[in-house]
Amino acid sequence: MRRHQFIVPLALLGVLSFPARAEGRDISRDTLPANDGWASYGSGTTGGAAADDAHVFTVTDRAGLVRALDGGSDTPKIIRIAGTIDANTDDRGDRLDCADYATDGYDLKKYLAAYDPRTWGAAKPSGPQEQARQASAARQAERVELTVGSNTTIVGLEGAVLKGASLQVKDATNVIVRNLELRDAYDCFPVWQPNSGGLGDWKTAYDNIWLRGATHVWVDHVTLSDKGHPDSGEPTYFGRNYLRHDGLLDITNGSDLVTVSWSRFAGHDKAMLIGNGDTATGDRGKLRVTLHHNEFASVVQRAPRVRFGQVHVYNNRYLVKDGHRYSIGVSTESALYLQNNAFTTPGHIEVADLVKSWNGSALHDEGTLFNGFPVDLLPIHNAYNSGSERDLTADVGWTPTLHTKIDSAEVADRAVARGAGAGRIP
């Protein structure tokens, strides 16, 4: 499409001489349009649009990005990412791999030998190998966790990629992340949790983007994936997949007023968790999120899984592949409002596989398209849900009012296929 023939000349002229632009327009100071989802509520979301010239940065490596982020300060700032930045690098920009972080004798073979459930049992890992794992993990976290403060806009220039990082908006407000590919937030040191999910499971640390205690956040035209290290290529230990990635975009701990638009979630297990605990009652009345015109391609689960929040999910495109567990997760006190989403699945994945509920009680659904045919998710869920799941009612107790034009699922499906993800801001 469109711009391919211009990529080579732009590169020859040197990307640094160009502002973050889409079709020739500088997007650095864009703000969230009025009524565009929950992040437009009240004072809206302007990110770093008020930055003075001294706080507009173009960064090309981790060190520059860290300097621009300024320890999560709330000074209005615009950070433009150029080229590929790898978070797993030292201060000189040299690549760090898992062996570089490993310390205190951490060794995966020894870790597996120490905590094999057949000999160790179901107690939480403790002792030298677990201590060494924690110390090693802390060394990686110090490199890859990047804190984003209030009043910040992060935009990618043409082709920008942030690798291995976990962007964390913590107890901050008014943040925009746009036009950026974030890939492979790879955890070198997963921890074994013997009591997770009955059979035990591996817990990994990093989300590509993690919003915790974050309000007024707009994530737009980003591409989020495990590219480089797909979890499908990881081995199984203790009978469980040794996952290297946690969420692509998790929204937890009282976060509120978030719009996620025109983004691509691709090739990943747990894409988006909204609310991370059934007992986190401080999330009640918060976790209000709008998801529109996003593509969820080859996502296994959590697209999204919701607790507590009023979450509007409209005009999204789902490309379901083998290995899929569910798409929409209805958990404690969630109030999901689905409108005009399109699902495309292989033949053996059925409508009843799209929704899963745990302690959820309601789900609003309308205009869903399944392999080109209109379907009603709710009665099908209630007819075919498994024994542990409750029937859901249609009354979620609210009706969204903050949204852009809602298209039919068919129209949205085509528009998202063309327009979602980094590099596609019109």
Active centre residues (catalytic): 302
Q: Which residue lies nearer to Ca ion by CB, 114 or 274?
A: 274
- Bridge partners of 297, per DSSP, are 266, 319
Region binding Ca ion by CB under 5 A among candidate stretches 153-161, 179-187, 242-250, 347-355: 242-250
Residue 289: closest CA among 45, 48, 50? 45
CA dihedral 161, 178, 422, 244 (to 10 degrees): 50
Region binding Ca ion by CB under 5 A among candidate stretches 18-26, 207-215, 330-338, 364-372: 207-215
Q: Which residue lies nearer to Ca ion by CB, 36 or 246?
A: 246
Among 187, 220, 231, 246, binds Ca ion (CB under 5 A): 246
Site for Ca ion in 36-75 (CB under 5 A): none
Among 36, 181, 201, 207, binds Ca ion (CB under 5 A): 207
Among 30, 36, 187, 250, binds Ca ion (CB under 5 A): 250
CA atoms within 13 A on the CB side of 14: 2
Q: Strands, DSSP E only, in 54-203?
A: 56-59, 77-81, 84-86, 145-148, 152-156, 161-163, 166-170, 173-178, 181-183, 191-193, 201-203
Q: Which residue lies nearer to Ca ion by CB, 249 or 412?
A: 249
207 token code pair = 């989300």
Q: Which residue lies nearer to Ca ion by CB, 231 or 246?
A: 246
Among 37, 247, 254, 400, binds Ca ion (CB under 5 A): 247
Region binding Ca ion by CB under 5 A among candidate stretches 128-136, 240-248, 311-319, 372-380: 240-248
Region binding Ca ion by CB under 5 A among candidate stretches 114-122, 202-210, 222-230, 260-268: 202-210
92, 147, 224, 326 from 180: Cα distances, Å: 24, 16, 9, 27
305 token code pair = 């899984």
Q: Which residue lies nearer to Ca ion by CB, 47 or 247?
A: 247
Residue 304 touches Ca ion, criterion: CB under 5 A: no
SS3 20: coil
DSSP 33-75: PTTSSGGGSTT---TTTT--GGGEEEE-SHHHHHHHHGGG--S
User: Alpha carbon 359 to chain centroid distance?
Assistant: 23
Q: Count the site residues for Ca ion by CB under 5 A.
A: 4
The CB-of-412 to Ca ion minimum distance in angstroms stands at 28
The CB-of-202 to Ca ion minimum distance in angstroms stands at 13
The CB-of-246 to Ca ion minimum distance in angstroms stands at 4
Residue 320: closest CA among 363, 353, 368? 353
81, 127, 136, 145, 163 from 157: Cα distances, Å: 6, 46, 33, 21, 15
The CB-of-185 to Ca ion minimum distance in angstroms stands at 10
Q: Which residue lies nearer to Ca ion by CB, 275 or 421?
A: 275
The CB-of-234 to Ca ion minimum distance in angstroms stands at 17
What is the rounded distance in angstroms from the CA atom of residue 79 to the CA atom of residue 199?
43
Q: Which residue lies nearer to Ca ion by CB, 31 or 253?
A: 253
The CB-of-204 to Ca ion minimum distance in angstroms stands at 8
The CB-of-274 to Ca ion minimum distance in angstroms stands at 11
Interacting residue ranges for Ca ion, rule: CB under 5 A: 207, 246-247, 250
